[in-house]
């Protein structure tokens, strides 16, 4: 089941602000209503906590730990909206970022594809609708 | 015929604002003038009513009910513009969203493809032209 | 319901063999099991009966009549396989073609897309797998 | 020759502002200098006159009349720029829209492709560069 | 774990040979060596047993049962090659088809994407390399 | 109206057989039934008459003359099938080629796109279905 | 060598501001350092001088003259940056436009593709990054 | 430097012939003439030695060992043609396959992209030109 | 002007037959009739002379010399067909290949794109129509 | 190892501000943790120091020197984030640009693709999210 303890972080490597984006096309969880598997693509985008602040010590998420954390949803019954908000909340708790954005893009069910966007803080305008 | 009573809603799952998008490529209705079927793609995009407000109790549209509601247009004689405005009005009445956007994108008739955009409330600029 | 009487034909216009292909991206019928609409693309490909034979008098299908015939499946409960075989049989009965090929390509259901190919006569090898 | 009398309009169907887009990929006219045919794609985008105003009685262009109006350029000798300005002026005269945008996108001549954008009123920024 | 008992079949609906293709983009299993999830697309293509033969009574695989059978691999530790051969063998046992083809197309691991093709009987040449 | 006298030819420039292909995306004619314009793409593919034969003196079609010949269909009322057969016959009469192939690919009418293939002589198998 | 005297202009045809874009995919010059040919695509975008001003008399560039002007760079040894600035300066001198934008997009050299953007005046924001 | 000792193999898992394809988009070596790095995509396609033959005991290449073998070319000065023939020979020596095919597809140098195809044994026709 | 003396060759590096393909997207020459530049893409595909034969000593074309040879057409007035046959003849004279294929693919002139295919020897069927 | 001394610059060639973009699809370095090679695409975008200022004397990076500098990372063990910040810092030190932007886009590892954006100065909004 979803396990944020799998997440690891490392220190922000630069004093100049920058933006990190990780896209996973291999996310899967289970629909709690029908028991059918859901498949989606997850985009995580964030600006790490400014170097020199206490939060910067755990400012960037380690990539392999992110993969394992995503895999912990594999057999969890959970709705699209809940996945999106859960990912945002767990990663914000880990990273204390300047801002953070989660976009979950789900394969069709019943002929309807869905995209959920969940933000934290002031996501710059040029990233908002992407 | 179009039946908004088919629509069901559930409570907004998060206090942090987020955006939901559902795209159906399988919409069909009938041209009231020629009796010919029309085929289109419907994009619904909205920010649910803020959690903690009365409206949030019915803040998100349930996906299967949305599909059935769309199917209720199957044999209805109705113009592009009327479909677009009808979808917006029915969904706003159901959800009382912070904002909502309907984009209907129709296959060509007589060599002309059409797109109708109908908004409710303050759609953020980065979504307006998409 | 499916109505082959809607189909009209006209005489093969040339003594030299040639090949005709019509692709409709706007086919819809209904799943007889679930009552849900199905959406597909239909490719009809054939070589008309040789001019100068009795069959050539009705060798080519008239385009508007084909459209109306396809539309007669709109509210019919019928499986993918049955649609494909039905289309082939009705059109072969109408046209007595040298050969004829029906390819029905269906949008996904439960994450599975389907393609059915039904041939009549000796379809040339270069068209078979397309 | 170009004949705006072919254009018909109908009343704006909603009090809430919305945006209509019609794209024709089948426009052709003739180069007045060389006599060679030109081929282009025409995008018409506009916000109808607000319902409840006198202009709203003729706020939306009827689709078939638009097709016939476009066809009236078929054998006219006229430059790209003149087509674009003419389309805008004729449609603004018909519709009195809140704003209107014409984009003509022409196939290459001498290895150069051209796009002309002609606006009326305050086209929203998110549509301007599209 | 992989469960062929989930598979159901129905009678071949036509005496004329035809070809059925089902593509699932939502297959997942687990690497038995690393425990990491694998994601792939499965193409099943076959010509059903000729109608009128004993085998034709179970000549076509039912679509929903196929989906459930694929899902039974979700948490199974199994190699690419074994998945491909297993799918072919289970489906051949069910359907006794004239010929059958399985193509498994796997997302990259360590920068290498893989495709496995496993055939039964005389797959026509125009399908072999697809 | 269609005028084959516009076509010019020049001598085959090589004794070694080779293949020439010309694709025009700017063909237009008129539907004789509805008076509506049709738009299509024309592919002409042929192997010129072998150099050293009498036919080789007029073995290759001159490109500008081909363009003018195509333009002579602009206001002609003529069906898809007739265009395709007419083009083949006029060009075969001009060129006496080893083989020749015409493919006309038409934009949709009533939601149906059409492709007509008309051959002369032994078109090599690898070109037939293209 | 680059010859702006080849450029011709004509009067702005409308009092309403509009935007003209010409894209040539067939530009070539020579690298002054290596003598190797460079190949690029040139986008010219501008708003002609307002009709009614003295500058409007030469407000729009004539298309064939633009082609010949581009061709005058064919055997010139000149850097990417110099081409871009030269084109802008020559065209601004000719047209006195409200604003003008040159984008040169070059095929790769040593595995590196380059794009140079050179503006004149206040290019509207929606065109700047395109 | 290229090290075939890194390659590992495992036993052919099925008596029914099947085809395996591995595509790596991350191959790099060095041009022996210029010292510049080369980048390419490598496709390996083969039919393993028939199960039950001595060769089948080492019939399939292990995926991770293949990756490491490819990486051993990273700083090797070697031409396109030599890479292609070397890969084929090393893998044939390892696997004794029924047939095997190597396709190396290289990014452009000096504006020229290259593809080298090296076969072993009777590659089926439908794979040869791919 | 076209200069085959620029071409260099090296010895076939393998006794096993293999196929080499070089694609240049940066070919340009001049139309002898209009003086306008032509731009095309050149594909050269061949099987080198078998190693161990006298011809194999000059069996493969050196890549940089090929580029310079192509550049020698830059200011030559020459027709599409002549370029194609010239390239084939010069390269066959240099390489004495088992077979060789030239495909020249030209950007549009007057709305017509052209492809010329010129072969030497027995080009395998799977390459002929590509 | 990364060697900024390889970088060369030349003087800004114009007083009018302009923007330069170089995209390399052939960047490779090594993961310091696993020793596995990483492959990425690097976009460098900047506005050179204004001509006439002391910084403008070294305002533009020379293209070949940039290629060699990128190649100096080939066998360096370095993380994505460090590459991105290092490139920005080295190039800012060289060029003193008005603004500068580095985008590194990495091929997938463990099913996750990554993009890092590192800016210097006031990157215009229309470039920020690209």
Is the per-residue pLDDT at C102 higher than 90?
Answer: yes
Q: Are H102 and H82 in contact (CB under 8 A)?
A: no
CB G96, CB G49: distance < 8 Å? yes
What are D66-83's pLDDT values in tens digits? 999 999 999 999 999 999
Quick one: chain G helix, strand, coil %, rounded to 5? 30, 40, 35
The number of residues in chain F equals 130
**Chain A neighbours among C 95-114 (CB < 8 Å)?**
107-108, 110-111
pLDDT at D117 over 70: yes
Contact G21 D109 (CB under 8 A): no
Q: In this complex, do I107 and G37 lie within 8 Å of one another by their Cβ atoms?
A: no
Chain F: residue whose CA lies nearest to I111: F24
Is residue D130 very low, low, confident or very high in pLDDT (cuts 50, 70, 90)? low
Specify the higher pLDDT residue, C90 or C129.
C90
* Alpha-carbon torsion (F58, F61, F62, F64), positive or negative: positive
Mean pLDDT over H70-74 rounds to: 97
| pLDDT of res. A28 | 97
Residues in G touching D126 (Cβ below 8 Å): 126
Is H36 touching G (CB cutoff 8 A)? yes
Task: Count the neighbouring beta carbons within 10 Å of the beta carbon of residue D1.
Answer: 9
Task: Tell me what pLDDT residue D126 has.
Answer: 82
Taking CA–CA distances from D14, the nearest residue in chain B reads: B85
Full set of structural domains in chain G with CATH: 4-121 (3.30.1130.10)
- J28/H28 CB distance under 8 A: yes
Integer Cα distance of F46 and F33 in angstroms: 32
Q: Which of G18, G24, G126 sits opposite D85 (nearest CB)?
A: G18
Q: Which pLDDT tens digit goes with each residue over F97-115?
A: 999 999 999 997 878 999 9
Neighbours of chain B (3+ CB pairs under 8 A): A, C, D, F
Please report the DSSP string for B98-110 in residue order.
SEEEEEEEEEEET
pLDDT of residue A76: 96
Q: With contacts defined as CB-CB under 8 Å, which chain G residues touch D125? A: 125-126
pLDDT tens-place values along chain I, 130 residues long: 899 999 999 998 888 889 999 999 999 999 998 999 999 999 999 999 988 888 888 999 999 999 999 999 999 999 999 999 999 999 999 999 999 999 999 997 878 999 999 999 999 988 887 6
3-state secondary structure of C3: coil
Residue window 111-130, chain E: list those with CB within 8 Å of chain H.
Answer: 111-120, 125-126, 128-130
- Return the HEC string of chain A: CCCHHHCCEECCCCCCCEEEEEEEEEEEEECCCCCCEEEEEEEEEEECCCCCCHHHHHCEECHHHHHHHHHCCCCCECCHHHHHHHHHHHHHHHHCCCEEEEEEEEEEECCEEEEEEEEEECCCHHHHCC
The reported pLDDT for the residue numbered B130 is 66
Angle at G15 between CA G12 and CA G16, to 5 degrees: 110
The count of other CB atoms within 10 Å of the CB of residue D26 is 21
Q: A97 to chain B, minimum CA–CA distance in Å?
A: 16
CA atoms in the 13 A half-sphere facing the CB of E63: 20
Distances (CA, A) of C93 to C24, C46, C89: 20, 13, 6
Q: Does I58 touch chain F (CB under 8 A)?
A: no
Mean pLDDT of B42-68: 93
Q: C24 - beta bridge partners?
A: C42, F112
- Say how many C-beta atoms besides its own lie within 10 A of residue G52's C-beta: 9
Distance CA E20, CA E43 (A): 10
Over residues A86-112, the pLDDT tens digits come to 999 999 999 999 999 999 999 978 789
pLDDT, one tens digit per residue, over F7-50 is 999 998 888 889 999 999 999 999 998 999 999 999 999 999 98
Residues in chain D with CB shorter than 8 Å from the CB of F26 are 37, 39, 107
Q: SS3 of C93, please?
A: helix
Are J36 and J86 in contact by the 8 Å Cβ rule? The answer is no
Chains interfacing with J (3 or more CB pairs < 8 Å): A, E, G, H
CA-CA distance, G56 to C20, in Å (whole number)? 54
Question: Average pLDDT for residues E55-59, to the nearest whole number?
Answer: 90
Q: What span, in angstroms and rounded, lies between the C-alpha atoms of C67 and C79? A: 20
Q: What is the mean pLDDT of residues C45-74?
A: 93
Q: Which of I85, I109, I112 sits opposite F13 (nearest CB)?
A: I85
pTM of the model: 0.94
How many Cβ atoms sit within 10 Å of the Cβ of residue H33? 11
The angle subtended at Cα G61 by Cα G57 and Cα G63, nearest 5°, is 140
Sign of the CA dihedral running I56, I58, I61, I62: positive
C116, C104 contact by CB (below 8 A)? yes
For F49, list phi and psi in degrees, rounded to 5. -55, 140
| pLDDT tens-place string over residues G10-60 | 998 888 889 999 999 999 999 998 999 999 999 999 999 988 888 888 999
Burial class (CB in 10 A: 0-12, 13-18, 19+), A113: middle
Please state the three-class secondary structure of E85-127 as a single string.
HHHHHHHHHHHCCCEEEEEEEEEEECCEEEEEEEEEECCCHHH
**B117 to D60: CB separation less than 8 angstroms, yes or no:** no
3-state class (DSSP) for residue G85: helix
Residue J52 confidence class, pLDDT cut points 50, 70, 90: confident
d(CA F1, CA D45) in angstroms, rounded, equals 36
| Secondary structure of residue C130 in the 3-state scheme | coil
Do residues I18 and H85 make contact, with C-beta atoms less than 8 angstroms apart?
yes
CA-based torsion, F93, F94, F96, F101: positive or negative:
negative
Which residues in chain E are closer than 8 Å to C85, comparing Cβ atoms?
13-14, 16, 18
C39–A110: do the CB atoms touch at under 8 Å? no
Interchain proximity J114–A21, CB inside 8 Å: yes
Query: SS3 of I74, please?
Result: coil
J35: closest CA of chain G, how far (Å): 25
Most E CBs within 10 Å, among H7, H16, H26, H91, to test the E interface = H16
Structure confidence at residue J98 (pLDDT) = 95
C38 is catalytic: yes
Q: Give the residue carrying structure tokens 């052209």.
A: I114
Task: Decide if pLDDT at E125 tops 90.
Answer: no
User: For every residue of B4-24, which 3-state class applies, written as one string?
Assistant: HHHCCEECCCCCCCEEEEEEE
Tell me the per-residue pLDDT of F73-91, one tens digit each, with 9 for 90 and over.
Answer: 999 999 999 999 999 999 9
Query: Minimal Cα–Cα distance from C79 to chain B, Å?
Result: 18
Q: Please give, rounded to a whole number of angstroms, the shortest distance from the CA of F38 to a CA of chain B.
A: 10
Whether E28 and A28 lie within 8 Å, measured CB to CB: yes
For D5-18, what is the mean pLDDT?
A: 91
Instruction: Please say whether the beta carbons of A38 and A30 come within 8 A.
Output: yes
| Residues F41, F105: Cα–Cα separation, whole Å | 5
**Arithmetic mean of pLDDT, A115-129:** 90
Q: Which of B58, B65, B49 is nearest to B3 (CA)?
A: B65
SS (H, E, C) G16-34: CCEEEEEEEEEEEEECCCC
pLDDT at residue C129 tops 90: no
* Residues of B with a known catalytic role: 31, 38
pLDDT band for position G130 (50/70/90)?
low
Alpha carbons within 13 angstroms on the beta-carbon side of residue B61 total 33
CA J123 to chain E, closest CA, distance in angstroms equals 33
D81 and G22 within 8 Å at the Cβ level: the answer is no
- The CA R_g of chain A, rounded to the nearest whole Å, is 15
Catalytic residue annotation of H: 31, 38
Are J107 and H37 inside 8 Å of each other by CB?
Answer: no
- I25 contacts in G (CB within 8 Å)? 39, 107
Strand H18-30, strand H37-47: pairing = antiparallel
pLDDT of residue C109: 81
Average pLDDT score, chain B: 93
Say which residue, G130 or C107, is predicted with more confidence. C107
J17 vs G contacts (CB less than 8 Å): 119
Q: Chains with ≥3 Cβ pairs under 8 A against F?
A: B, C, D, I
């Amino acid at each position: 089941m979803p396990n944020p303890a799998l997440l690891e972080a490392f220190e922000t490597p630069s004093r100049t602000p920058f933006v990190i984006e990780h896209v996973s096309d291999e996310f899967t969880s289970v629909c709690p209503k029908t028991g059918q598997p859901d498949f989606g693509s997850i985009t995580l985008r964030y600006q790490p906590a400014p170097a020199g602040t206490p939060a910067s010590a755990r400012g960037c998420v380690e990539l392999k730990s992110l993969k394992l954390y995503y895999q912990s949803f594999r057999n969890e019954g959970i709705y699209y909206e809940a996945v999106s908000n859960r990912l945002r909340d767990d990663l914000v708790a880990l990273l204390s970022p300047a801002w953070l954005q989660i976009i979950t893009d789900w394969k069709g069910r019943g002929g309807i594809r869905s995209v959920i966007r969940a933000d934290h803080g002031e996501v710059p305008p040029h990233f908002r609708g992407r």
